[in-house]
Amino acid sequence: MSSAFYNDDPIPSGRGWLIYPVRRLIRRLQRPYYLKLQSIIDDITARVDQSRQELNQSRQELNQLWQELQSGRLETSQQVRALALDHTAVIRRLAAIQDELITGFDHAKDAPPLASPLARSSGRSPQ
C-alpha cells in the first residue's frame, strides 16, 4: 500500500483552503489505523511468502521422491521381467531333462541287462 494519500499536499488556492484543515485533521486521525493496517498487511505478506517457499520446497522434495519412485519402479519391473525369463528358461531345461530321462528309460527297457560291476571284479559271472 502506498502512503501517498497521507502525505500532506500543498495548500490549495481558492475555496480549497477551507477544506484543507478538515482533510489534514482526518489524515491525522486515520494515520494510526493506516499504520496498523499496513503492519498487518506486511505480516500477512511475510507469512504468505514463507508459506509459498515452504510449498515450493515441499513440491521439489515430492518431485524428487516421485522420480526416485519411478526409477525404482523401472528397475523393479526390469528385475521382474528378468526373473520371469529365468523362470521360463529353468522350466524349459527341466522339460528337456524330463524328456531325456523318459527316452533314456524307454531305451533302458529295450536294452539287455548290464552285468554287475562287482561280479566282474570278483571273477564270477552273473547268474
Q: How confident is the chain (127 residues) per 10-residue block, as mean pLDDT? A: 58 72 86 93 96 95 89 83 91 90 74 60 52
pLDDT at 125: 52
The overall pTM is greater than 0.85: no
Hey, how many other C-beta atoms are within 10 angstroms of the C-beta on 23?
13
pLDDT at 10: 64
For 42, the grid coordinates are 506486511
Report the C-alpha gap between 48 and 55 in whole angstroms: 10
Question: Domain limits of the chain?
Answer: 4-93
Residues near 11 by beta carbon (within 8 Å), at least 6 away in sequence: 17, 20
Query: For the chain, how big is the Rg over CA atoms in Å?
Result: 48
**Residue 39, amino acid:** S
pLDDT at 42: 96
